[in-house]
Amino acid sequence: MSSDRKSPYRVLMVCTGNICRSPTADGILRKLVADAGLGDRIEVDGAGMEGWHTGDGPSRLAVEEAAKHGYDLTPLRARQIKSADYQEFDLILAMDDGHMARLKSGYPDGARAELAMFLDADRTADRHDVPDPYYGGADDYRYSFELIESGCKAWLDTLREKV
């Protein structure tokens, strides 16, 4: 672990509206980081490509599924990604290819954030993207949660090497 970094390594989770996938990833990774004693070295946030739900909490089903596994998403509030995020964050993680395409097309000149697909760190994942459970039911949220929790554990291992 490198100890010469003075500011926290900042990670931004991105999905469509910031009420299902990205807040689930945000809440899980925050807890994993805190439990690992890395809260002063890694900061986590979430944002949506769209601003439809700005200020809203995560969806009820996302909150319920996360709570079953000991994660509290209730303090989180949706926000839309902004140009400054590309400079203020070290790593921006996209939940699907559509998000990645939009993140790349909006990448400002001189920005420093690394862009990656959320599931790329998880060698056990049998897919490339995290499906959007928004229009589905509890089973869809459960499946997305499982992918996201596994992905967050993989990212924690990767992030330990960066901080």
Domain borders along the chain are 9-160
Q: Is the pTM of this model over 0.85?
A: yes
* Catalytic residue positions, numbered: 15, 21, 132
Name the DSSP letter for residue 122. -
Bridge partners (DSSP) of residue 11 are: 44, 91
pLDDT averaged over 10-residue windows placed end to end, the chain, 163 residues: 71 98 98 98 98 98 98 98 97 98 96 97 95 97 98 97 92
Rounded (10°) CA dihedral 55, 61, 63, 68: 180
Q: What are the tokens at 136?
A: 């589905």
CATH number of 9-160: 3.40.50.2300
Annotate 88-120 with b (16+ C-beta within 10 A) or e (fewer).
ebbbbbbbbeebbebbeeeeeeebebebbbbbe
